[in-house]
Amino acid sequence: MVTTFKAQVQNLHFYYGTVEALKNISISIQEKKVTAMIGPSGCGKTTLLRCFNRMHDLYPGNRYEGEITLYPEGKNILDPKVDPIELRMRIGMVFQKPNPFPKSIYENVAYGLRVRGITQKSIIGEKVEESLRYAALWDEVKDRLYHLASNLSGGQQQRLCIARTLAIDPEIILFDEPTSALDPTATQKIEELMETLKEKYTIITVTHNMQQAARVSDYTAFFYLGELIEFDKTENIFTNPKVKKTEEYITGRFG
């Protein structure tokens, strides 16, 4: 099967004020694959992830250098002329800690549609059900769609956040350690979910869990101190890493 690029990061530097958090990163993201980003704490995984949807624009003093080209149109999304709001309509994000809105389950999933100005009840209702089904949460919540999302368990909340992202039909979904706050059962559910999600979506996920990276991802990037150390097919990274540092990290000798 021929794979195509969904996004290409080229010579990306990122600065928090004067602190250079990402140093000359170049990496290609394949369409409808899972790309995992691993590395010790503070190496810049979250920072890179948040470049894809220009989340850094929300805070003053942050600066990008270099390019992230988004396909199929091949435009550099870091260009100041690109509207981050428009970009975020195409690139969804799931955060480390489940962060549902203090609204009903239904309203949480519907929110992305409301932002797009969709008001027709039938369309929203359909999309809410479809997204909840896809996020494997429908059966658990279908009888209480109008209850507060905060009543759900942590794992359910995280799947709700995934459903909320799916409802806007993103091209890429960014996951920032989506299971780090969850128990093994909930984690397994989310991992299985990623497996099905990649049939439709391109996924980039950050994880601290080596087994998880090995299980769910097709490609793995290893970062260290803001630099990309190694990037390859996941099986190569885990069975035959080319850089010593990578091997040390995945075998648990540091990090």
Ligand X SMILES: Nc1ncnc2c1ncn2[C@@H]1O[C@H](COP(=O)(O)OP(=O)(O)OP(=O)(O)O)[C@@H](O)[C@H]1O
Residues that bind ligand X (CB under 6 A): 16, 19, 21, 39, 41-47
Residue 190 CB, nearest approach to ligand X (Å): 17
Window 45-64: residues binding Mg ion (CB under 5 A) = 46
Window 28-57: residues binding another protein (CB under 8 A) = 53, 55
Q: Does 205 bind Mg ion (CB under 5 A)?
A: no
Comparison of 40 and 66: residue with beta carbon closer to Mg ion = 40
β-bridge mates for residue 30, sequence order: 5
Residue 86: which of ligand X, Mg ion, another protein, none does it interact with, CB under 5 to 8 A by kind? another protein
Q: Does 16 bind another protein (CB under 8 A)?
A: no
Q: Give whole-number Cα distances, 255 to 88, 177, 214, in Å.
A: 32, 16, 17
Helix, strand and coil content of the chain, in percent to the nearest 5, comes to 40, 25, 35
Q: How many CA atoms lie within 13 A of 66 on its CB side?
A: 18
Helix H or strand E segment including 110: helix 105-115
Q: Does 112 bind another protein (CB under 8 A)?
A: yes
Comparison of 45 and 127: residue with beta carbon closer to ligand X = 45
Residue 71: which of another protein, ligand X, Mg ion, none does it interact with, CB under 5 to 8 A by kind? none
Record the tokens describing residue 230, joined without a space. 């190694």
Record the tokens describing residue 128, joined without a space. 């809410």
Determine the interface stretch with another protein among 34-42, 114-122, 124-132, 198-206 (rule: CB under 8 A).
114-122
Record the tokens describing residue 134, joined without a space. 């896809």
Q: Does 71 bind another protein (CB under 8 A)?
A: no
Determine the interface stretch with Mg ion among 40-48, 73-81, 148-156, 243-251 (rule: CB under 5 A).
40-48
Q: Does 102 bind another protein (CB under 8 A)?
A: yes
User: What does the alpha-carbon distance between residue 111 and residue 37 come to, in Å, rounded to a whole number?
Assistant: 29
User: What does the alpha-carbon distance between residue 179 and residue 46 come to, in Å, rounded to a whole number?
Assistant: 14
Helix H or strand E segment including 205: strand 202-206
Helix H or strand E segment including 23: strand 19-30
Residues lying near another protein in the complex (CB under 8 A): 53, 55, 58, 60, 85-86, 88-89, 92-93, 95, 97, 99-102, 111-112, 114-116, 148, 150, 161, 164-165, 168
